[in-house]
Amino acid sequence: MALTDIGRSQVLQAVAEFDAIGRNAFLKRYGFGRARDYFLVVDGKRYDSKAVLGAAHGCLPGLQPLRPDAFSGGKVHTVKLLRALGFEVSDASQVSGAAIAAAPAHEEFLRRVQGLRAAHAASGPRLYQPITLLWAIGRARRGEARSLAWAETDEAIGALLERHGVRGERRRPDYPVLALHRAGLWTLEGHVGEVPTAHGDSELRSWFAEQRPSGGLAQPFHDLVHRSGHARISVIEAVLAKYFEGLDPVPLLEDTGLCDEGVADDSEPREPVVDAAVTAAAQYEKWCRLLDGRAEAGGVRRRASLRNDPVRSAVARRAVLARSRGLCENPACDGQPADVTDAGAPILEVDHIMEIAKGGPDHPSVMAALCPNCHAVRTRGRSREALRATLLEVALAAHLRLKHSADD
Protein backbone atom coordinates (compact mmCIF):
# COMPACT_ATOMS: atom_id res chain seq x y z
CA MET A 1 0.00 0.00 0.00
CA ALA A 2 1.42 3.37 -1.10
CA LEU A 3 -0.87 6.36 -0.77
CA THR A 4 1.70 8.53 -2.51
CA ASP A 5 1.12 6.61 -5.74
CA ILE A 6 -2.37 8.08 -5.96
CA GLY A 7 -2.61 11.03 -8.35
CA ARG A 8 -5.26 13.59 -9.25
CA SER A 9 -6.71 11.40 -11.98
CA GLN A 10 -7.40 8.54 -9.58
CA VAL A 11 -9.07 10.89 -7.09
CA LEU A 12 -11.24 12.37 -9.83
CA GLN A 13 -12.22 8.88 -10.99
CA ALA A 14 -13.39 8.10 -7.47
CA VAL A 15 -15.29 11.39 -7.31
CA ALA A 16 -17.01 10.56 -10.60
CA GLU A 17 -18.10 7.20 -9.18
CA PHE A 18 -19.35 8.94 -6.02
CA ASP A 19 -21.49 11.23 -8.18
CA ALA A 20 -22.73 8.36 -10.33
CA ILE A 21 -23.99 6.06 -7.57
CA GLY A 22 -24.61 8.50 -4.74
CA ARG A 23 -23.07 8.96 -1.32
CA ASN A 24 -24.77 6.11 0.55
CA ALA A 25 -24.04 3.50 -2.12
CA PHE A 26 -20.43 4.70 -2.44
CA LEU A 27 -19.74 4.46 1.28
CA LYS A 28 -21.40 1.05 1.49
CA ARG A 29 -19.43 -0.26 -1.50
CA TYR A 30 -16.07 0.62 0.07
CA GLY A 31 -16.98 0.03 3.72
CA PHE A 32 -16.56 3.59 5.03
CA GLY A 33 -18.66 5.56 7.45
CA ARG A 34 -19.66 9.17 6.93
CA ALA A 35 -16.90 11.73 7.35
CA ARG A 36 -17.12 13.88 10.47
CA ASP A 37 -14.18 16.26 10.20
CA TYR A 38 -12.63 16.55 6.74
CA PHE A 39 -14.23 16.80 3.32
CA LEU A 40 -12.75 16.89 -0.17
CA VAL A 41 -14.19 19.82 -2.13
CA VAL A 42 -14.51 19.57 -5.93
CA ASP A 43 -16.45 22.20 -7.90
CA GLY A 44 -18.18 23.35 -4.74
CA LYS A 45 -19.39 19.85 -3.77
CA ARG A 46 -18.17 18.09 -0.65
CA TYR A 47 -17.12 14.44 -0.53
CA ASP A 48 -16.10 12.11 2.30
CA SER A 49 -12.34 12.54 1.93
CA LYS A 50 -11.10 9.26 3.40
CA ALA A 51 -13.60 7.15 1.46
CA VAL A 52 -12.67 8.87 -1.81
CA LEU A 53 -8.97 8.32 -1.20
CA GLY A 54 -9.54 4.66 -0.35
CA ALA A 55 -11.52 4.16 -3.57
CA ALA A 56 -8.93 6.11 -5.57
CA HIS A 57 -6.27 3.56 -4.58
CA GLY A 58 -8.29 0.95 -6.43
CA CYS A 59 -8.06 3.04 -9.61
CA LEU A 60 -4.29 2.42 -9.74
CA PRO A 61 -3.28 -0.40 -12.14
CA GLY A 62 -3.33 -3.78 -10.42
CA LEU A 63 -4.27 -2.43 -6.99
CA GLN A 64 -7.35 -2.78 -4.81
CA PRO A 65 -9.32 -0.11 -2.93
CA LEU A 66 -8.14 0.47 0.62
CA ARG A 67 -10.30 -0.45 3.58
CA PRO A 68 -10.93 2.12 6.35
CA ASP A 69 -8.48 0.48 8.77
CA ALA A 70 -5.61 0.59 6.26
CA PHE A 71 -4.81 4.30 6.69
CA SER A 72 -5.64 7.45 8.63
CA GLY A 73 -8.32 9.85 7.50
CA GLY A 74 -6.94 12.82 9.38
CA LYS A 75 -4.42 15.54 8.62
CA VAL A 76 -1.38 13.27 8.64
CA HIS A 77 -2.34 11.09 5.69
CA THR A 78 -5.58 11.85 3.80
CA VAL A 79 -5.71 15.61 4.16
CA LYS A 80 -2.00 16.10 3.56
CA LEU A 81 -2.03 13.98 0.40
CA LEU A 82 -5.16 15.53 -1.10
CA ARG A 83 -3.87 19.04 -0.51
CA ALA A 84 -0.49 18.10 -1.97
CA LEU A 85 -2.37 17.05 -5.11
CA GLY A 86 -3.89 20.54 -5.32
CA PHE A 87 -7.32 19.67 -3.93
CA GLU A 88 -9.24 21.70 -1.43
CA VAL A 89 -10.07 19.98 1.85
CA SER A 90 -12.45 21.66 4.28
CA ASP A 91 -13.19 20.79 7.85
CA ALA A 92 -16.63 20.41 9.36
CA SER A 93 -16.36 23.71 11.24
CA GLN A 94 -16.14 25.64 7.98
CA VAL A 95 -19.52 24.65 6.56
CA SER A 96 -21.47 22.78 9.20
CA GLY A 97 -24.58 20.94 8.11
CA ALA A 98 -23.97 21.40 4.39
CA ALA A 99 -25.42 19.00 1.89
CA ILE A 100 -22.68 16.79 0.45
CA ALA A 101 -22.12 16.07 -3.22
CA ALA A 102 -25.55 17.30 -4.26
CA ALA A 103 -26.77 20.52 -5.80
CA PRO A 104 -28.26 22.20 -2.73
CA ALA A 105 -31.69 23.77 -2.54
CA HIS A 106 -31.75 27.52 -2.39
CA GLU A 107 -32.31 27.29 1.38
CA GLU A 108 -28.71 26.07 1.68
CA PHE A 109 -27.44 29.01 -0.38
CA LEU A 110 -29.46 31.36 1.82
CA ARG A 111 -28.10 29.77 4.98
CA ARG A 112 -24.55 30.33 3.86
CA VAL A 113 -25.21 33.92 2.79
CA GLN A 114 -26.92 34.71 6.09
CA GLY A 115 -23.98 33.19 7.97
CA LEU A 116 -21.35 35.35 6.29
CA ARG A 117 -19.24 37.56 8.52
CA ALA A 118 -18.23 41.00 7.33
CA ALA A 119 -15.93 43.75 8.52
CA HIS A 120 -17.88 46.79 9.68
CA ALA A 121 -17.49 50.49 9.17
CA ALA A 122 -19.26 52.99 11.42
CA SER A 123 -22.19 53.13 8.98
CA GLY A 124 -22.63 49.38 8.56
CA PRO A 125 -21.08 46.22 7.06
CA ARG A 126 -18.54 46.72 4.31
CA LEU A 127 -19.73 45.72 0.85
CA TYR A 128 -16.87 43.51 -0.34
CA GLN A 129 -18.82 40.25 -0.21
CA PRO A 130 -22.23 41.46 -1.50
CA ILE A 131 -20.63 43.21 -4.47
CA THR A 132 -18.73 40.04 -5.33
CA LEU A 133 -21.79 37.81 -4.89
CA LEU A 134 -24.09 39.99 -6.98
CA TRP A 135 -21.47 40.15 -9.74
CA ALA A 136 -21.27 36.34 -9.77
CA ILE A 137 -25.07 35.95 -9.68
CA GLY A 138 -25.37 38.31 -12.65
CA ARG A 139 -22.86 36.21 -14.58
CA ALA A 140 -24.72 33.03 -13.72
CA ARG A 141 -28.03 34.52 -14.78
CA ARG A 142 -26.61 35.40 -18.20
CA GLY A 143 -25.17 31.91 -18.62
CA GLU A 144 -21.56 33.11 -18.59
CA ALA A 145 -18.72 30.80 -17.60
CA ARG A 146 -18.66 30.02 -13.89
CA SER A 147 -14.87 29.98 -13.52
CA LEU A 148 -12.82 32.97 -14.59
CA ALA A 149 -9.09 33.69 -14.64
CA TRP A 150 -7.90 35.71 -11.66
CA ALA A 151 -6.79 38.68 -13.78
CA GLU A 152 -10.34 39.05 -15.16
CA THR A 153 -11.97 38.51 -11.77
CA ASP A 154 -9.64 41.04 -10.16
CA GLU A 155 -10.40 43.64 -12.83
CA ALA A 156 -14.18 43.17 -12.81
CA ILE A 157 -14.72 43.08 -9.04
CA GLY A 158 -12.13 45.79 -8.48
CA ALA A 159 -14.01 48.14 -10.80
CA LEU A 160 -17.29 47.43 -8.99
CA LEU A 161 -15.68 48.08 -5.60
CA GLU A 162 -14.45 51.45 -6.84
CA ARG A 163 -17.88 52.42 -8.21
CA HIS A 164 -20.12 51.06 -5.47
CA GLY A 165 -18.02 50.81 -2.32
CA VAL A 166 -19.39 53.44 0.08
CA ARG A 167 -18.07 52.16 3.42
CA GLY A 168 -14.34 52.46 2.97
CA GLU A 169 -13.85 49.48 0.67
CA ARG A 170 -10.52 49.29 -1.13
CA ARG A 171 -9.92 47.79 -4.55
CA ARG A 172 -9.07 44.38 -3.06
CA PRO A 173 -11.14 41.54 -4.60
CA ASP A 174 -8.89 39.02 -2.83
CA TYR A 175 -10.60 39.82 0.48
CA PRO A 176 -14.17 38.85 -0.50
CA VAL A 177 -13.09 35.98 -2.72
CA LEU A 178 -11.21 34.32 0.14
CA ALA A 179 -14.05 34.97 2.61
CA LEU A 180 -16.59 33.46 0.22
CA HIS A 181 -14.24 30.56 -0.45
CA ARG A 182 -14.03 29.76 3.25
CA ALA A 183 -17.84 29.93 3.49
CA GLY A 184 -18.14 27.29 0.76
CA LEU A 185 -19.63 29.72 -1.75
CA TRP A 186 -16.58 30.16 -3.99
CA THR A 187 -14.11 27.75 -5.55
CA LEU A 188 -10.48 28.45 -6.43
CA GLU A 189 -8.65 26.22 -8.89
CA GLY A 190 -5.19 25.94 -10.38
CA HIS A 191 -3.21 26.85 -7.27
CA VAL A 192 -0.53 24.89 -5.42
CA GLY A 193 -0.91 24.14 -1.73
CA GLU A 194 -3.50 25.44 0.69
CA VAL A 195 -5.57 28.55 0.18
CA PRO A 196 -4.74 31.19 2.81
CA THR A 197 -7.35 32.61 5.16
CA ALA A 198 -8.94 35.96 4.40
CA HIS A 199 -6.63 37.90 6.71
CA GLY A 200 -3.54 39.98 6.24
CA ASP A 201 -2.64 42.35 3.46
CA SER A 202 0.61 41.96 1.57
CA GLU A 203 0.55 38.17 2.07
CA LEU A 204 -2.81 37.85 0.34
CA ARG A 205 -1.80 40.12 -2.49
CA SER A 206 1.39 38.11 -2.97
CA TRP A 207 -0.44 34.75 -2.92
CA PHE A 208 -2.87 35.82 -5.66
CA ALA A 209 -0.08 37.41 -7.70
CA GLU A 210 1.96 34.21 -7.54
CA GLN A 211 -0.79 31.59 -7.81
CA ARG A 212 -3.23 33.45 -10.09
CA PRO A 213 -6.04 30.96 -9.43
CA SER A 214 -9.13 30.76 -11.56
CA GLY A 215 -12.45 30.46 -9.79
CA GLY A 216 -16.01 31.58 -9.30
CA LEU A 217 -19.28 30.89 -7.53
CA ALA A 218 -19.40 27.23 -6.45
CA GLN A 219 -20.91 25.06 -9.18
CA PRO A 220 -24.15 24.00 -7.42
CA PHE A 221 -24.97 27.60 -6.51
CA HIS A 222 -23.99 28.93 -9.93
CA ASP A 223 -26.29 26.39 -11.60
CA LEU A 224 -29.07 27.14 -9.13
CA VAL A 225 -29.22 30.90 -9.69
CA HIS A 226 -28.78 30.40 -13.42
CA ARG A 227 -31.87 28.23 -13.84
CA SER A 228 -34.20 29.26 -10.98
CA GLY A 229 -35.65 32.74 -10.85
CA HIS A 230 -37.12 32.10 -7.41
CA ALA A 231 -33.76 31.04 -5.97
CA ARG A 232 -32.03 33.96 -7.67
CA ILE A 233 -34.43 36.50 -6.20
CA SER A 234 -34.32 34.85 -2.76
CA VAL A 235 -30.53 35.13 -2.63
CA ILE A 236 -30.51 38.71 -3.95
CA GLU A 237 -33.05 39.62 -1.27
CA ALA A 238 -30.94 38.01 1.44
CA VAL A 239 -27.86 39.94 0.28
CA LEU A 240 -29.74 43.26 0.19
CA ALA A 241 -31.32 42.71 3.61
CA LYS A 242 -28.00 41.79 5.21
CA TYR A 243 -25.80 44.53 3.76
CA PHE A 244 -27.79 47.41 2.27
CA GLU A 245 -29.79 48.86 5.15
CA GLY A 246 -29.99 52.60 4.47
CA LEU A 247 -28.36 52.27 1.04
CA ASP A 248 -29.80 52.31 -2.47
CA PRO A 249 -28.66 49.08 -4.19
CA VAL A 250 -30.21 49.89 -7.56
CA PRO A 251 -27.03 51.27 -9.21
CA LEU A 252 -25.16 48.09 -8.24
CA LEU A 253 -28.05 45.87 -9.44
CA GLU A 254 -28.02 47.74 -12.74
CA ASP A 255 -24.26 47.34 -13.04
CA THR A 256 -24.43 43.59 -12.40
CA GLY A 257 -27.35 42.91 -14.75
CA LEU A 258 -29.91 42.25 -12.01
CA CYS A 259 -32.20 45.23 -12.47
CA ASP A 260 -34.94 44.44 -14.97
CA GLU A 261 -38.40 42.93 -14.93
CA GLY A 262 -37.10 39.53 -16.05
CA VAL A 263 -34.65 39.02 -13.19
CA ALA A 264 -37.08 36.61 -11.52
CA ASP A 265 -37.60 34.53 -14.66
CA ASP A 266 -36.28 30.99 -14.96
CA SER A 267 -33.72 30.23 -17.64
CA GLU A 268 -34.50 27.57 -20.21
CA PRO A 269 -36.08 25.13 -19.72
CA ARG A 270 -38.75 27.29 -18.15
CA GLU A 271 -41.36 26.10 -15.70
CA PRO A 272 -44.03 24.49 -17.87
CA VAL A 273 -47.35 26.30 -18.20
CA VAL A 274 -49.89 23.99 -16.64
CA ASP A 275 -53.69 23.92 -16.43
CA ALA A 276 -53.98 22.37 -12.99
CA ALA A 277 -55.47 24.96 -10.65
CA VAL A 278 -53.70 23.46 -7.64
CA THR A 279 -50.33 23.94 -9.32
CA ALA A 280 -51.16 27.54 -10.23
CA ALA A 281 -52.21 28.21 -6.64
CA ALA A 282 -48.98 26.73 -5.28
CA GLN A 283 -46.81 28.76 -7.63
CA TYR A 284 -48.77 31.92 -6.91
CA GLU A 285 -48.49 31.40 -3.17
CA LYS A 286 -44.74 30.81 -3.48
CA TRP A 287 -44.19 34.17 -5.13
CA CYS A 288 -46.64 36.05 -2.90
CA ARG A 289 -44.94 34.62 0.17
CA LEU A 290 -41.61 35.96 -1.04
CA LEU A 291 -43.23 39.31 -1.79
CA ASP A 292 -44.91 39.53 1.62
CA GLY A 293 -41.71 38.51 3.41
CA ARG A 294 -39.88 41.22 1.55
CA ALA A 295 -42.41 43.83 2.66
CA GLU A 296 -42.05 42.76 6.30
CA ALA A 297 -38.27 43.07 6.03
CA GLY A 298 -38.47 46.57 4.57
CA GLY A 299 -37.38 45.69 1.02
CA VAL A 300 -35.55 48.16 -1.15
CA ARG A 301 -36.28 51.72 -0.10
CA ARG A 302 -39.18 52.83 -2.30
CA ARG A 303 -38.82 55.87 -4.52
CA ALA A 304 -41.17 57.44 -7.05
CA SER A 305 -40.27 55.33 -10.05
CA LEU A 306 -41.00 51.64 -10.66
CA ARG A 307 -37.48 51.08 -11.93
CA ASN A 308 -36.18 51.94 -8.47
CA ASP A 309 -37.72 48.86 -6.88
CA PRO A 310 -36.74 46.23 -9.43
CA VAL A 311 -36.78 43.23 -7.14
CA ARG A 312 -40.34 43.79 -5.95
CA SER A 313 -41.50 44.46 -9.49
CA ALA A 314 -39.92 41.24 -10.77
CA VAL A 315 -41.44 39.15 -7.97
CA ALA A 316 -44.93 40.63 -8.43
CA ARG A 317 -44.71 40.05 -12.18
CA ARG A 318 -43.81 36.37 -11.73
CA ALA A 319 -46.72 35.91 -9.31
CA VAL A 320 -49.19 37.31 -11.83
CA LEU A 321 -47.85 35.13 -14.64
CA ALA A 322 -48.10 32.04 -12.42
CA ARG A 323 -51.69 32.95 -11.53
CA SER A 324 -52.72 33.47 -15.16
CA ARG A 325 -51.66 29.94 -16.22
CA GLY A 326 -50.63 31.37 -19.59
CA LEU A 327 -53.98 33.00 -20.39
CA CYS A 328 -54.99 36.64 -20.77
CA GLU A 329 -56.89 37.71 -17.65
CA ASN A 330 -59.28 40.04 -19.49
CA PRO A 331 -62.60 38.12 -19.41
CA ALA A 332 -63.64 39.81 -22.69
CA CYS A 333 -60.42 38.90 -24.54
CA ASP A 334 -61.11 37.97 -28.18
CA GLY A 335 -58.07 35.70 -28.34
CA GLN A 336 -54.40 36.04 -27.60
CA PRO A 337 -51.57 35.06 -29.98
CA ALA A 338 -51.13 31.31 -30.38
CA ASP A 339 -47.39 31.84 -30.84
CA VAL A 340 -44.96 31.72 -27.91
CA THR A 341 -41.70 33.45 -27.05
CA ASP A 342 -38.26 32.00 -27.80
CA ALA A 343 -38.27 30.58 -24.26
CA GLY A 344 -41.60 28.82 -24.89
CA ALA A 345 -43.69 31.16 -22.73
CA PRO A 346 -47.08 32.64 -23.69
CA ILE A 347 -46.99 36.13 -25.13
CA LEU A 348 -48.35 38.05 -22.15
CA GLU A 349 -47.61 41.45 -20.66
CA VAL A 350 -48.09 42.25 -16.98
CA ASP A 351 -50.03 45.46 -16.44
CA HIS A 352 -50.21 47.62 -13.33
CA ILE A 353 -53.93 48.37 -13.38
CA MET A 354 -53.33 51.18 -10.90
CA GLU A 355 -50.25 52.92 -12.28
CA ILE A 356 -47.21 53.04 -10.01
CA ALA A 357 -46.55 56.63 -11.09
CA LYS A 358 -49.97 57.58 -9.69
CA GLY A 359 -49.42 55.88 -6.38
CA GLY A 360 -50.66 52.40 -7.20
CA PRO A 361 -49.19 49.50 -5.22
CA ASP A 362 -46.76 47.07 -6.82
CA HIS A 363 -48.82 44.02 -5.81
CA PRO A 364 -50.38 41.13 -7.78
CA SER A 365 -53.85 41.90 -6.43
CA VAL A 366 -53.90 45.05 -8.60
CA MET A 367 -51.96 43.68 -11.56
CA ALA A 368 -53.10 41.57 -14.52
CA ALA A 369 -51.56 39.41 -17.24
CA LEU A 370 -52.82 40.68 -20.60
CA CYS A 371 -52.24 39.73 -24.21
CA PRO A 372 -50.74 42.55 -26.33
CA ASN A 373 -54.14 43.58 -27.76
CA CYS A 374 -55.86 43.83 -24.37
CA HIS A 375 -52.85 45.62 -22.94
CA ALA A 376 -53.07 48.22 -25.69
CA VAL A 377 -56.78 48.73 -25.00
CA ARG A 378 -56.11 49.06 -21.26
CA THR A 379 -53.43 51.71 -21.77
CA ARG A 380 -54.74 53.79 -24.68
CA GLY A 381 -58.16 52.52 -25.82
CA ARG A 382 -61.34 54.57 -25.46
CA SER A 383 -62.78 51.89 -23.20
CA ARG A 384 -59.71 51.76 -20.98
CA GLU A 385 -61.46 53.09 -17.84
CA ALA A 386 -64.22 50.50 -18.07
CA LEU A 387 -61.62 47.79 -18.63
CA ARG A 388 -59.60 49.10 -15.70
CA ALA A 389 -62.60 48.66 -13.39
CA THR A 390 -63.22 45.14 -14.68
CA LEU A 391 -59.60 44.09 -14.30
CA LEU A 392 -59.41 45.41 -10.74
CA GLU A 393 -62.30 43.12 -9.81
CA VAL A 394 -60.87 40.17 -11.73
CA ALA A 395 -57.36 40.56 -10.29
CA LEU A 396 -58.54 40.86 -6.68
CA ALA A 397 -60.92 37.91 -7.04
CA ALA A 398 -58.18 35.74 -8.58
CA HIS A 399 -55.73 36.81 -5.87
CA LEU A 400 -58.11 35.87 -3.07
CA ARG A 401 -59.17 32.61 -4.74
CA LEU A 402 -55.62 31.35 -5.20
CA LYS A 403 -54.52 32.46 -1.76
CA HIS A 404 -57.43 30.55 -0.22
CA SER A 405 -56.68 27.51 -2.41
CA ALA A 406 -53.09 27.48 -1.21
CA ASP A 407 -54.22 27.79 2.42
CA ASP A 408 -56.54 24.80 2.01
Query: In terms of pLDDT, which residue wins out, 168 or 219?
Result: 168
Q: List 228's β-bridge partners, or say none.
A: none
**pLDDT on residue 328:** 96
CA-wise closest residue to 81 among 184, 11, 18, 1? 11
Average pLDDT, integer, range 88-95: 63
Choose from 75-84, 276-285, 366-375 the range with maximum mean pLDDT.
366-375
For residue 239, is pLDDT > 90?
Answer: yes
- Look at 92-106, 133-147, 203-217 and tell me which has the smallest mean pLDDT: 92-106
Task: For residue 104, name the pLDDT band (cuts at 50, 70, 90).
Answer: very low
CB 370 within 8 A of CB 380: no
Q: Phi, psi (5° rounding) for residue 79?
A: -65, -45
CA-wise closest residue to 284 among 314, 321, 330, 309? 321
CB 14 within 8 A of CB 52: yes
- Render pLDDT for 295-348 as a digit per residue (tens, 0 to 9): 555 554 433 333 457 788 889 999 999 899 889 999 999 889 989 887 778 899
- Render pLDDT for 40-54 as a digit per residue (tens, 0 to 9): 888 767 888 999 999
Q: Phi, psi (5° rounding) for residue 349?
A: -125, 135
Give 215's Cβ-side CA count (13 Å radius): 30
Q: How many residues does the chain have?
A: 408
**pLDDT on residue 303:** 35
- Render pLDDT for 188-231 as a digit per residue (tens, 0 to 9): 999 988 888 756 688 889 999 999 999 999 888 998 899 888 88
Round the CA-based radius of gyration of the chain to a whole number and report it. Answer: 25
CB 248 within 8 A of CB 301: yes
